[in-house]
Amino acid sequence: MAPSNRRISRSLAQHGGSAGGGLIALASRRGGVMGVLLAIVGAGLLYKAVSAGRAQTRRLPSAPDRGRDIHLSSSVSINRSAADIYKFWRDFSNLPKVMSFLEKVEPREGRISHWVARVPKGPALEWDSELVEDTPQHQLSWRSLEGSDLNTWGTVVFEPRGDGRVTEVSLSFNFNPPGGVTGSATANFLRSLESSVLSKNLRNLKAQLETGEIPTNSQFDGKTHAGRRPS
């Protein structure tokens, strides 16, 4: 790669993710047509940033077919500090406690983690993801590795409000299924996803961090069981 191209890739990787995450956070607050447009632009910037970062490590997958992309975004205000929420989310193994569509997430070497999705029918859907942006107490971004059954990438932004005891959490999950997935585990998984799923899962996160009750993994049955509130 030419030096000028490397500088462009580094710039995109360093700044594009933050800009994309900021637009997604703004989109969640604005809503309506403008919110949708901001979310699309933000997701595009985030994807370019992730791709630029992956290009530097020579593991950039082929670009997804944008015509099939599924973009989900939502936000919630939580009565905990950004540092507390960042600490909980940074340990990706915590996510299945609040995300109903995840069976488990296991840390692997370095910034890699192994994700297993809950599929309504058929075999489990699994992929490896890499943490591509980690700004402590502010933003985390990740994406699946090359060769995964499902191209997926996401970002979560933590924005303190007022005196810092309340934090607005803005989350974006993006999925791009490979071709020919009709009837497969991937297709079943994607059919179970909709924007309301993300909203419900963020409410689960709010309940977990504010009250210490961990929602069960049953499909949106509203049940909870007691858990220890994170320190």
User: So what's the pLDDT on residue 70?
Assistant: 83
User: So what's the pLDDT on residue 25?
Assistant: 65
User: So what's the pLDDT on residue 66?
Assistant: 42
Nearest in space to 185 (alpha carbons), one of 95, 123, 114: 123
200 Rama sector, left if φ>0, alpha if ψ -120 to 50, beta otherwise: alpha
User: So what's the pLDDT on residue 51?
Assistant: 54
User: So what's the pLDDT on residue 192?
Assistant: 73
Q: What's the angle, vertex CA 92, arms to CA 122 and CA 166, rounded to 5? A: 120
Q: What's the angle, vertex CA 52, arms to CA 198 and CA 59, rounded to 5? A: 90
HSE-CB of 105 using CA atoms within 13 angstroms: 23
pLDDT in tens, the chain (231 residues): 544 454 444 444 445 556 666 666 666 666 666 766 666 666 666 656 555 544 433 333 333 444 467 889 999 999 999 999 999 999 999 999 999 889 999 999 999 999 998 887 767 789 999 999 999 999 999 999 988 878 899 999 999 999 999 999 999 999 887 655 544 677 777 777 777 889 999 999 999 999 988 655 444 333 333 343 444
- d(Cα 218, Cα 228) in Å, to the nearest integer? 20
User: So what's the pLDDT on residue 31?
Assistant: 64
User: So what's the pLDDT on residue 181?
Assistant: 53
- d(Cα 136, Cα 120) in Å, to the nearest integer? 35
Contacts of 111 by beta carbon, 8 Å cutoff, 6+ apart: 130, 131, 132, 134
Domains annotated for the chain, with CATH where assigned, are 67-226 (3.30.530.20)
